[in-house]
Amino acid sequence: MALIVGLVIGAGIFKAPSMVAGSAGGVEWMFAAWILGGIISLIGALCYAELATTYPHPGGDYHFLHRAYGRHVSFLFGWARLSVILTGSLALLAFIFGDYMHAVLPLTADPVLGSATYATGSILVLSWINLRGTRRGTATQAWLTVLEVGGLLLIAVSALLLVPAAPASAAPLPPSESWNAAAFGLAMVFVLLTYGGWNEAAYISAELKDVRRDMVRALSVSIIVITVIYLLVTWAYWHGLGLEGMSKSQALAADLAGLAFGTAGSKAVSILVAISALTSMNATMIVGARSNYAIGRDWPRLAAIGAWDGDRNAPVRALVVQCGLALVLVAIGAWSGQGFRSMVEFTAPVFWLFFLLTGVALFVLRVRDPNTVRPFRVPLFPLLPLVFCATCAYMLWSSLAYAYGSNLGGVNAAWIGVVVLALGLVVLALLHLSTPSQEKP
């Protein structure tokens, strides 16, 4: 549960509510969007619970895609995670940590160098903790999650006790900005992005003592907890700033903390955001190394990252590779600035494509593998899985539209995801050429 909560609750809750408030079309619709996001996430979690309890494996999504579509599709997914999606997320979270820690405790006069130094240090320290063993990594995750959730609850409590309610005149939006389907759909894009990450729990399915009971409980309870926290924090923002104030704020938590605690509030929020980044980083390291480990198990030429250390109960080599790639991307990010951040953001269509394929895999495996015992079955099948797949398809379309309308260095950003997959195809071809015929399946 700490892993899921830590993965999902990241820096997004400090920014997304502003964009949701400006797009939802009213207070009721704003809260409805966050509730709907929790419901959709819970539906997706039930779909993943069936896959994870039926096919428990450290590879998670990678393993589900492998069983449903074959090793080539699953390799492209694993390649995207290894090359950009997860290692890029680690680098971005490290920079978020560095930006906020540098604001509290500057290391150098150069903010870029200071942030990069903090980012490098955070990756090295968290990697060292996880290399000591899974128990150390998950214990760290539990403490970080407690600090993160405690800080968010403190924001809600301080808004109730220390901040007067925003004037009623600040609450409603102008009639021209009232509810419409397109604007509410945009709000849902931000909401679902903020809920993202719960699916990573599938990567620890093989390590749970009672996978049927613990996986279903961990996913469902975690998403309910996350939904409640998001609603409380959104209510705190609305209570202190009003809907219009939320939509115009560039730093919601800092603005609210300023009302509650004065100038000291901004530093407190900076530390809270830094802790949130560390929490997500540590969880990402735990699950990311396991997907890389799964690739190494399936491809003989990548066997170096497919070794499991029994003493530490962790994929140690995969952790080392992940740490090295993340550090390389931090160096690239420090050199290129916003360009790398945009590159990772514009690979979102690749992520939603494979997320959709995983949802469809539930149907494929029910047909292809009907006799396998399923300890947990999605209720209301096929309705709930269809809702989940439709949501993934909508997010895929939305992310493609966003990338297509943006440019990076004069190049249409939609091509970045294509390049990532194309490089994966090249690597796949090289693996086939270098693998002796007797090793090929």
Please spell the DSSP secondary structure of 327-348, one letter per residue. Answer: HHHHHHHHHHTHHHHHHHHTTH
Q: Evaluate if residue 361 carries a pLDDT over 90.
A: yes
Query: CA Rg, the chain, in Å?
Result: 22
Q: What is the DSSP string of 262-324?
A: TTHHHHHHHHHHHHHHHHHHHHHHHHHHHHHHHHHHH-GGGGGGG--BTTTTB-HHHHHHHHH
112/117 Cα distance (integer angstroms): 9
Three-state DSSP at 407 gives strand
Highest mean pLDDT among 43-47, 139-143, 265-269: 43-47
In the predicted structure, residue 269 carries a pLDDT above the cut 50: yes
What is the pLDDT, as a whole number, of residue 146?
86
- Helices 414-434, 348-368: axis angle to 10 degrees equals 60
Q: What's the Cα-to-Cα distance from 398 to each of 98, 186, 316, 346, 362, rounded to whole Å?
A: 30, 8, 37, 11, 23
pLDDT confidence of 3, banded at 50, 70, 90?
confident
Domain boundaries, the chain: 2-439
Query: What integer pLDDT is reported at residue 223 of this predicted model?
Result: 93
Report the pLDDT value the prediction gives residue 19, as an integer from 0 to 100: 83
CATH 1.20.1740.10 fits 2-439, yes or no: yes
The predicted structure's pLDDT at residue 246: 86
Residue 388's pLDDT band, with cuts at 50, 70 and 90, is very high
- Percent with pLDDT over 70 in the chain: 88
pLDDT of res. 157: 81
172 pLDDT band, cuts 50/70/90, is very low
Give the torsion through C-alpha atoms of 45, 51, 53, 56, to 10 deg: -120
Question: 314 vs 138, 170, 200, CA distance in Å?
Answer: 11, 52, 16
Q: Which residue has the higher pLDDT, 303 or 361?
A: 361
Distance CA 148, CA 69 (A): 38
* Average pLDDT of the segment spanning 318-346: 76
pLDDT of residue 173: 46
Residue 23: which pLDDT band, with cuts at 50, 70 and 90?
confident
The yes-or-no verdict on residue 170 having pLDDT over 50 is no
Among left, alpha and beta (phi > 0; psi -120 to 50; other), residue 113 is alpha
Q: What is the pLDDT of residue 411?
A: 67
pTM, full prediction: 0.79
The per-residue pLDDT for range 27-42, each reduced to its tens digit, is 889 999 999 999 999 9
- Do the beta carbons of residue 136 and residue 129 sit within 8 Å? yes
Q: What is the mean pLDDT of residues 240-265?
A: 79
Return phi, psi of residue 209, to 5°.
-70, -40
pLDDT for res 340: 57
**Please, are residues 80 and 354 in contact by the beta-carbon 8 Å criterion?**
yes
